[in-house]
């Protein structure tokens, strides 16, 4: 082990850093030996910093896809108890609030779409706005903005963007309670007023994929998946609004830290007591940001359905599930035999409730919550299910993607966007993107081996593998 941090191996897929210095709890990392060797020491440093925050419960966790982030590691999980001085951290949620993934079944097999794949790619690229600063056809006035921030995907469905049945397959049934539009600044509103129903840039995408392999046929059947089915993954978040909320509250939290007697090990870990005025203001704003992301993915789903209706009218797109990353949610967890209400931060991590949890849609409750792990343009993605032991291991959390293996700057030194598109085209993957630089930044080689990540998540007990999917069409931000 080359790390400068005192990592102790607890099991083949679990590593521990015992408290030292000002750490209040241990740090736990779930990964195999190769993933641990490849992790930047900054992940362990950030995990130890998180473990110093007031009111943290049990441990600070890093998922197998963890990499260096802003304050918290991306792939980081931490829970705080408000009654014990616990904090909420804007850095622990991240800038793209509620960035997440949703998966749709199409009712079609790959063979049924193969001959119209290019037509489908062109139509999706034309109808779903994509790229830096992209805007859509929806313009929200003040009244509409407030309704969206309060209603999330439920608001979108009420506006005609989707089916009421979709709501049963979204976390929080599509509407995060406790949102406070009054905490959203004029600047954040202005950035979002024309961005509803847009993918954005960076690692965001819309992919048509093939179910390449079924690992667990019982759960796959419950999820309505069979080998060679065509499915759609949509990965995006709360666009300019979420970023502006993060930017503003990080500043407020840094400035207010001393008045709350908070000693920050890193100013990027800016936070506020949950029960303070600032903590409650952030939670209200962040929940509004979650609703923005849920509404955004719902509108993109509607646009995607319209495209399929035009190109493949026999398709029937039904929502399997929508999962968010980059959130802080109040949940009840059993800790040392006692039920406690905790504010669980998941930054670049996915909620992964196990079988029987009451917050899982009834039709899926017996097998566990779908956990959607995104790959990249040229690599597989995975569908998992939450596990029963996940609560003890990580407050029911799992990884969210492959995790970056290098910076975007490093990636552009190694790859050219045009050659990435051509190489993937030779493999039968149709790419459409407004930015060749963006394609180079997101080249498949810039990410960790997603199969190693999900294998580690399963072996550690965080979630159970259900299906592997491979890209056919990728609309890239």
Q: So what's the pLDDT on residue 309? A: 98
Using CA atoms, how far apart are residues 127 and 129, in angstroms rounded to an integer?
Answer: 6
Domain-by-domain residue ranges, the chain?
7-405+447-476
pLDDT, averaged across the chain? 95
Q: Which of 243, 333, 400, 409 is catalytic?
A: 400
Task: Enter the tokens of residue 373.
Answer: 């792990």
Banded pLDDT at 338 (limits 50, 70, 90):
very high
Which residue positions form the known binding site for GMP? Answer: 203-207, 325-326, 374-377, 381, 400-403, 476
Whether 402 has a pLDDT exceeding 90, the answer reads no
333 catalytically annotated:
no
Which residue positions form the known binding site? Answer: 96, 203-207, 235, 325-326, 374-377, 381, 400-403, 476
Task: Enter the tokens of residue 155.
Answer: 């608001």
Q: So what's the pLDDT on residue 94? A: 94
Q: So what's the pLDDT on residue 1? A: 58
Task: Enter the tokens of residue 295.
Answer: 């509404």
Q: So what's the pLDDT on residue 460? A: 98
Report pLDDT digits (tens) over 77-107: 999 999 999 999 999 999 999 999 999 999 9
Q: So what's the pLDDT on residue 445? A: 87
Which residue positions form the known binding site for Mn(2+)? Answer: 96, 204, 235, 325
Nearest to 457 by CA among 407, 378, 385, 354: 385
Report pLDDT digits (tens) over 55-78: 999 999 999 999 999 999 999 999
Task: Enter the tokens of residue 386.
Answer: 């939450």
Half-sphere exposure of 339 (CA within 13 A, CB side): 3
CATH numeric code, 7-405+447-476: 3.90.1860.10
Using CA atoms, how far apart are residues 12 and 30, in angstroms rounded to an integer?
Answer: 9
Report the b/e string of 234-255 with b at 16+ CB within 10 A: bbbbbbbbbbbbbebbbeebbe
Residues in the chain: 477
Task: Enter the tokens of residue 103.
Answer: 């998966």
| DSSP track, 48-73 | HHHTTSTTB-S-EEEEEEEE--SSSP
Handedness of CA 243, 249, 252, 255 (dihedral sign): negative
Q: So what's the pLDDT on residue 287? A: 98
Q: Give the rounded percent of residues in the chain with a pLDDT score beyond 90.
A: 88
């Amino acid at each position: 082990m080359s790390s400068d941090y005192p990592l102790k191996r607890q099991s083949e897929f679990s590593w521990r850093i015992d408290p030292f210095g000002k750490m209040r709890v241990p740090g736990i990392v779930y990964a195999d030996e190769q993933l641990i060797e490849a992790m930047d020491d900054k992940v362990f440093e950030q995990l130890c910093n998180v473990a110093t925050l007031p009111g943290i419960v049990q441990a600070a966790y890093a998922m197998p896809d963890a990499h260096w982030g802003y304050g918290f590691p991306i792939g980081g999980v931490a829970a705080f108890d408000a009654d014990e001085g616990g904090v909420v951290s804007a850095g622990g949620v991240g800038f793209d609030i509620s960035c997440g993934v949703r998966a749709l079944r199409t009712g079609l097999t790959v063979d049924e779409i193969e001959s119209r794949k290019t037509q489908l790619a062109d139509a999706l690229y034309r109808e779903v706005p994509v790229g830096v600063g992209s805007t859509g056809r929806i313009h929200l006035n003040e009244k509409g903005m407030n309704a969206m921030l309060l209603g999330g995907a439920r608001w979108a469905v009420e506006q005609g963007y989707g089916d009421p049945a979709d709501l049963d397959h979204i976390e929080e049934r599509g509407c995060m309670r406790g949102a406070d539009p009054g905490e959203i600044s004029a600047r954040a509103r202005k950035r979002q007023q024309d961005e509803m129903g847009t993918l954005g840039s960076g690692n965001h995408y819309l992919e048509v994929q093939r179910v390449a392999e079924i690992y667990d046929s019982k759960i796959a059947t419950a999820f309505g998946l069979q080998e060679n089915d065509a499915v759609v993954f949509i990965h995006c978040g709360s666009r300019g609004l979420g970023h502006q909320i993060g930017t503003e509250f990080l500043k407020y939290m840094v400035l207010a830290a001393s008045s709350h007697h908070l000693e920050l090990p890193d100013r990027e870990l800016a936070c506020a007591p949950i029960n303070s005025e600032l903590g409650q203001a952030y939670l209200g704003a962040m929940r509004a940001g979650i609703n923005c992301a849920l509404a955004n993915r719902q509108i993109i789903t509607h646009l995607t359905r319209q495209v399929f209706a035009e190109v493949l009218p026999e398709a029937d797109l039904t929502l399997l599930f929508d999962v968010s990353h980059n959130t802080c949610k109040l949940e009840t967890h059993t800790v040392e035999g006692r039920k406690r209400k905790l504010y669980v931060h998941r930054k670049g991590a996915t909620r992964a409730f196990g079988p029987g949890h009451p917050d899982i849609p009834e039709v899926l409750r017996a097998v566990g919550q779908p956990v959607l792990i995104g790959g990249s343009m040229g690599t597989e993605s995975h569908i998992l299910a939450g596990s029963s032991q996940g609560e003890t291991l990580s407050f029911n959390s799992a990884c969210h993607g492959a995790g970056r293996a290098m910076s975007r700057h490093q990636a552009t030194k190694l790859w050219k966007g045009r050659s990435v598109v051509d190489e993937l085209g030779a493999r039968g993957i149709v790419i459409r993107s407004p930015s060749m630089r963006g394609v180079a930044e997101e080249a498949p080689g810039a990410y960790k081996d997603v199969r190693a990540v999900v294998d580690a998540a399963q072996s550690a007990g965080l979630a159970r593998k259900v299906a592997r999917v491979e890209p056919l069409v990728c609309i890239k931000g």
